[in-house]
Amino acid sequence: MSINLKKGASFNLTKNEPGLKKIMIGLGWEPASAGLDLDASVFINGANGKLISEAHFIFYNNLKSPDGAIVHTGDNRTGVGDDDDEIIGANLDMIDSQSVEIVVVVSIHEAVARRHKFGLLNDAYIRLYDVDSKREVLRYDLDAEFGDSTEVIFGKLEKRSAEWHFVATGQGSAIGLQGIIDKYIPA
C-alpha cells in the first residue's frame, strides 16, 4: 500500500522498504489549459548542500548522472495521458558516495513568458515507485497550495547514517528554474 505524504513528512526508505534498490520517480499532471509544460529536474548534492558538479544537475538536456545511477527518461511537453508524464530512475546502490542529498524539483517551462502557474494544473503529483516489485511506495500530490508558484522543490532523498530517507519538502516559489539552479551551484 502506498503512503500519501504531506508537506514536511519524512519516510525512511531503507528501514521501511529494506529491499528497495531501484526506484522510479514519476511526475504526472493534467493541464487545465493548453501549452502547460512541467519539467522534472534533479540536483545531486554533496555534504555542503551544493551540486557535486554541473554534470550532477539532471534535466531534459542532461539525462544521466556521471555515475549512471540516475537517469531522466526525457521531456513530455503536454501532460496528456493517465500515467506518469516524466520519469526519473535511480539505482540507490550505485549512487556516488559523495551524494548525500538528491533534490527533486518540478518547474513550469517558460512560466513567466506564458503566464503559467501551478494553479493551472489538475491532478499534479509525484510518486516514488519500486521498480523490482512494481509497486508504488509513496506519493506526494502537488495541490492548490502551490497555486501561484512556477516551480516547486517537492522533495528530496537524503542519506543519513547510510540510510535513505525521502522528505516531502514542498517549497514553492516564483524565482524560475535558474533561481533554483543558482541556489545549488557551489560558490
Residues 6+ apart with CB under 8 A from 130: 17, 20, 22, 23, 136, 137
Q: What is the CATH number of the domain that holds 7?
A: 2.60.60.30
Q: What pLDDT, on a 0 to 100 scale, did the predictor assign at position 157?
A: 94
Chunked mean pLDDT (size 10), the chain, 187 residues: 86 94 86 73 96 95 96 67 80 94 87 74 83 93 72 90 91 89 90
Residues 6+ apart with CB under 8 A from 139: 2, 3, 4, 5, 125, 126, 127, 128
- Segment (H or E) for 182: helix 176-184
Helix (H, G, I), strand (E, B) or coil at 61: coil
Q: What pLDDT, on a 0 to 100 scale, did the predictor assign at position 67?
A: 95
* Residue for grid cell 514519476: 26
Q: Cα 121 to the chain's mean position, in Å?
A: 17
User: Residue 36 has what DSSP assignment?
Assistant: -
Domain count, the chain: 1
Please indicate, yes or no, whether the overall pTM of this predicted structure exceeds 0.85. yes
**Alpha-carbon dihedral angle through residues 9, 156, 130, 64, given to the nearest 10 degrees:** 170
Q: What pLDDT, on a 0 to 100 scale, did the predictor assign at position 107?
A: 86
Q: Could you tell me the residue range of the domain that residue 131 belongs to?
A: 3-184
Q: How far apart are the first and last CA of the chain?
A: 43
Strand partners, 173: 151
Residue type (1 letter), 99: S
